Amino acid sequence: MKILANIPYDLRTKNIFAQEDIPCFTRINEQFIIDFDLDPYFIEGKVVDWDEYKLNLLFGAGVGGDYTYYNHSLITIQKIKEGEYDIISLKFFDDMTGWVSIIENAEYAEYINIEPGYE
């Protein structure tokens, strides 16, 4: 998965985006959007090359409202070129279980089938 975002380049953003597990917010409907609220910047990134089926296996979708996913998240990215970044890790926050890995080492996290016969 990749994220397309225009991240302003200054000393602060350079240091922030060099870190792992950057706080962000995820909104998904027809588009997969990740928001970074980094005063004075509000950065909106669009995720491309994502698989809705795999995402649904790893984290249950919500119901009602404008978004099927609307979650606090943590992300680690790596710059490919200006405006394009690989997603190295992505975690969604779940009220009941805490942080749930969606992407690990730039791949979807392993899905564990807890109900035999269900896929």
| Cα–Cα distance measured from residue 31 to residue 57, given in angstroms and rounded to the nearest whole number | 18
Domains in the chain, number:
1
Q: Rounded to the nearest 5°, which phi and psi values hold at 21?
A: 55, 60
Residue the block writes with tokens 């962000």: 24
Q: Per-residue pLDDT tens, the chain, 119 aa: give them.
A: 999 999 998 999 999 999 999 999 999 999 999 999 988 899 999 999 999 999 999 998 887 789 999 999 999 999 999 999 999 999 999 988 899 999 999 999 998 766 555 55
- Position 118 in a domain: no
- Position 15 in a domain: yes
**Tell me, what DSSP letter sits at residue 115?**
S
Residue 45, classed as helix, strand or coil, is strand
- Tell me the two tokens of residue 106: 């730039």
- Position 113 in a domain: no
Which residues constitute the domain of residue 85? 2-108
- Position 117 in a domain: no
> What is the number of H-type helices and E-type strands within the chain?
2, 8
- Position 77 in a domain: yes
